[in-house]
A and B are shown apart, each in its own frame.
Chain A
Amino acid sequence: MIMQVVQYVAGLFLIVGTGFSLLAAAGILRFPDLYTRLHAATKAGTVGAGFVLLAIAISATDLAVSFRALGGIIFLVLTSPIAAHLLARAAYLAGDRPANITVVNDLENESRGTP
């Protein structure tokens, strides 16, 4: 009985996680500039991979495997924003400007921010 429930929940998590991954990919393809694409890739991508790892964590029979999957989630959540922030900063300094429909750009009129 409990095995059945675990299998249903794991299957649901797999579909939800890969659905988020597909949404992240769609955002990367459709959004107008790099900074909005970074939003889609880091947020939805992290949740997508996190749900798949969570499915492994709850369906594994070995506790070591579960904790390894949870460690993977923590690592992903910690490192993905750092990489995205660094990439956005590098792109802005390299002269990559936001799209015309951008409403707020705090670095625009700042002498320190404009490269």
Chain B
Amino acid sequence: MSGEVFLFVSENVALGLLALAVAVTLVRLLRGPSLPDRILALDTLTVLTISLIGVLTLRTGVTVLLDIALALCLVGFVATIALARYVLSRVPPTQGELRPEDGA
């Protein structure tokens, strides 16, 4: 098996594994018992999409897709932080000494 054929086959295997991973993560997103569980599943979906775009970059040779993956990386980070702050903002301020305003 030449290198080119091996790369082609492993790209297909990688796409299959990623599809399976996305499906498994979607189950947690739908079941999720709490809100942080769903946020975690969304964050993982972002990272899986970055991997997916990476595999597509190798398959098509269109390197502009890599910039999209990096932008998605940034957006995913900011989105997770914003959602975590949202979870914090729903905590009643009278409970405990460690308030959300202590910085996070």
A96 and B7 contact, CB distance less than 8 A: no
Q: Point out the residue from A7, A41, A62, A87 that lies within 8 Å of B3, measured CB to CB.
A: A7
B10 and A11 contact, CB distance less than 8 A: yes
Q: Point out the residue from A5, A24, A28, A93 that lies within 8 Å of B88, measured CB to CB.
A: A93
Complex Cα distance A29/B33, Å? Answer: 11
Complex Cα distance A114/B96, Å? Answer: 6
* Across-interface contacts of B51 in A (CB, < 8 A): 17-18, 21, 48-49, 52
Q: B9 — nearest CB in chain A belongs to which residue? A: A11
A21 and B73 contact, CB distance less than 8 A: no
B58 and A14 contact, CB distance less than 8 A: yes
Complex Cα distance A90/B90, Å? Answer: 10
A93 and B63 contact, CB distance less than 8 A: no
Q: Point out the residue from B20, B74, B97 that lies within 8 Å of A22, measured CB to CB.
A: B20
* Across-interface contacts of A112 in B (CB, < 8 A): 96-98
* Across-interface contacts of A113 in B (CB, < 8 A): 96, 98
Q: Point out the residue from B3, B4, B39, B58 that lies within 8 Å of A56, measured CB to CB.
A: B58
* Across-interface contacts of B48 in A (CB, < 8 A): 21, 25, 45, 48-49
* Across-interface contacts of A68 in B (CB, < 8 A): 66-67, 70
* Across-interface contacts of B37 in A (CB, < 8 A): 34, 37
B6 and A11 contact, CB distance less than 8 A: yes
Q: Which of A1-34 contact B (CB under 8 A)?
A: 3-8, 10-12, 14-15, 17-19, 21-22, 24-26, 28-29, 34
- Measuring CB to CB, which residues of chain A are less than 8 angstroms from any residue of chain B? 3-8, 10-12, 14-15, 17-19, 21-22, 24-26, 28-29, 34, 37-38, 41, 45-46, 48-49, 52-53, 55-56, 59-60, 62, 65, 68-69, 71-72, 75-76, 79-80, 82-83, 86-87, 89-91, 93-96, 111-115
